[in-house]
Amino acid sequence: MTSVTETATATGTVTVTGTATVTETATVTGTASAAASATARAEWDAWREASERQRREPYGFLAYSALHFLDGEPRRVEGFPGRWATGEQGPVVDLDAGESLAVDGETVAGRHVFGAVREREFRRAASFGDVVVELSRRGGHDLLRSLDPRHRLRETYVRTPTFDYDPAWVVRAEFEPYPAPRPVEVAAAIDGIVHTHEAVGEAVFALDGTEQRLVLFHAEHLAGVGLVLFTDATSGVTTYAASRRLIVPLPAPGSTQIVLDFNRAGNLQCAYTPYAPCPLAPPQNRLTIPIEAGEQIPSFRPEHDGTAQRPRP
């Protein structure tokens, strides 16, 4: 630095001062960029760890051990006490002598009416032993599921590999909102169920010089964000075949700019368990390019029989 200053004094202070300013600016810019990249990487690592913790919870979705459709005919359901049905009052169970359920901390016997279940509600309504009874409603069907912390899917789960973090997959896009939300029917990972989601607009962006469009749905239970369900050229190869999801913050008022961070493209529950009626990517969101970012096909130990890996086109 000293020799540069002396040379600059001999040849012209303005030239050197300008050079020093450019160098210092570049250094500051590079430092700021490196710091931002390190922060983004740390936040991504935290997201991965949080996702893994959630999957490993005793009563997380890997504990789902059965799924049954309920109808108006009371019938015994394998693995559950009582006879189950549903109707105008919602799901109902009739427990025989010697059978019981725990509901809201109290033991119930005989007939118990659970009340109507809302569409896309997850209601952990009762338990018996270590098993939790969940009631939900999907596509107009009342469903009965069990969560067993000793279920083999939990016991054989290893991890969910991911592509390495790459800032190049943080893609800026233009959000084109619809004048009003549009109801869109979306297939489910389980036959017999059709979801209806509200599409709020489209994300328009370019990859490899080609314009791409993805439909954004209203994200249930999350404010200020949209949900993208998509497939791409990696689906069924290195990533789960049926769909991946991406949560996208919607633009601030007066702006149309959004960011698609494909590093956070995550698996749906149906990538792990056959008992999850997840909504799948609509035809508009089936990309032909590879998105080599985000979560890949989950790993299970060899004794896992693979029933949770039933890809749906």
Q: What is the pLDDT of residue 6?
A: 37
Model pLDDT for residues 250-301, shown as the tens digit of each residue: 999 899 999 999 999 999 999 999 999 999 999 999 999 999 999 999 999 9
Q: What is the pLDDT of residue 220?
A: 81
pLDDT band at 29 (very low <50, low <70, confident <90, very high): low
As a three-state string, the secondary structure of 161-198 is CECCCCHHHEEEEEEEEEEEEEEEEEEECCCCCEEEEE
**For range 157-167, the mean pLDDT:** 97
For 257, the token pair is 């700019």
Q: What is the pLDDT of residue 309?
A: 41
Model pLDDT for residues 99-116, shown as the tens digit of each residue: 999 999 999 999 999 999
- Looking at residue 251, its amino acid is P
Geometric angle at alpha carbon 89, from 125 and 103, rounded to 5°: 20
pLDDT band at 27 (very low <50, low <70, confident <90, very high): low
CB 51 within 8 A of CB 266: yes
Distance between CA atoms of 92 and 253, rounded to whole angstroms? 46
Answer yes or no: is pLDDT of 1 > 50: no
pLDDT band at 17 (very low <50, low <70, confident <90, very high): very low
Angle between helices 13-56 and 2-11 (to 10 degrees): 140
> Measured between alpha carbons, how far is residue 50 from residues 43, 47, 175, 224, 241 in Å?
10, 5, 28, 21, 23
For 304, the token pair is 């896992």
Q: What is the pLDDT of residue 37?
A: 82
**For range 14-29, the mean pLDDT:** 46
pLDDT band at 28 (very low <50, low <70, confident <90, very high): low
**For range 212-239, the mean pLDDT:** 95
Distance between CA atoms of 194 and 140, rounded to whole angstroms? 8
For 6, the token pair is 């002396």
Q: What's the full length of the chain, in residues?
A: 313
**For range 187-210, the mean pLDDT:** 95
pLDDT band at 149 (very low <50, low <70, confident <90, very high): very high
Mean pLDDT across the chain:
89
pLDDT band at 222 (very low <50, low <70, confident <90, very high): confident
pLDDT band at 11 (very low <50, low <70, confident <90, very high): very low
